[in-house]
Amino acid sequence: MKQLVFILNGPNLNMLGKREPGIYGGDTLEDIEALCRAEAEALGVDIEFRQSNHEGDLVEWVQEAGGRKALVLINPAAYTHTSIALHDALRAAAVTVVEVHISNIHAREPFRHHSYVSSLAKGVICGFGIEGYAMGLRALVKSAQAQ
Ligand code: DQA
């Protein structure tokens, strides 16, 4: 059976394309999904690609990923900077996780500099636009294969 990877997207990422294109670019979430599907195909993994504006959905999906022995690539969006619930879910599920952000959160407002996810992540990719998803997926799968 192929390795399963959950690709989880947090709040407002459904608005990509329309939302602050100067920061996030003109690509949509559908474009990101297509990019991830092509990369997954090349890597030989299956993906579940999901987005929610609700913290509890992300918590439940992380729990589901743990139960299904999936790897997790996550852009928690604003919950990156606020969610102890997501931190606890990732910790409890003990999933291998890579965190991705489209923008360079460290070059932006100070409230974006702290992440509740990074301390649990195998690695973090930010600032490379949507290409970061392909980079993150590749790094996640390769590092899990090396374990
Ligand atoms: C983001 C960065 C976050 O600070 C922000 O709240 C987002 C998107 C990114 O991909 O650059 O919604 O995660």
pLDDT digit string, tens, across residues 39-68: 999 999 999 999 999 999 999 999 999 999
Q: Which atom of ligand 1 is nearest to the CA of 103?
A: 11
User: Considering the entire predicted model, what is its pTM?
Assistant: 0.97
Residue 1: its pLDDT value, please?
A: 86
Annotation says 24 is catalytic: yes
The ranges of the chain with pLDDT < 70 are none
Find out whether the beta carbon of 87 lies less than 6 Å from any atom of ligand 1.
no
Burial class (CB in 10 A: 0-12, 13-18, 19+), 119: exposed
SS3 at position 7? strand
Q: Which atom of ligand 1 is nearest to the CA of 132?
A: 10
Q: By the 8 A CB rule, do 62 and 132 touch?
A: no
Give the rounded distance of the alpha carbon of 61 from its chain centre. 12
Residue 21: its pLDDT value, please?
A: 92
Task: Kindly list the domain boundaries of the chain, sorted by start residue.
Answer: 4-146
Pocket test for ligand 1, best of 16, 19, 75 (most atoms within 8 A of CB): 75
**Residue 105 Cα, ligand 1 centroid: separation in angstroms?**
7
Residue whose structure tokens are 């992540």: 121
Residue 61: its pLDDT value, please?
A: 98
Query: Taking the domain 4-146, which CATH number applies?
Result: 3.40.50.9100
Find out whether the beta carbon of 62 lies less than 6 Å from any atom of ligand 1.
no
Find out whether the beta carbon of 117 lies less than 6 Å from any atom of ligand 1.
no
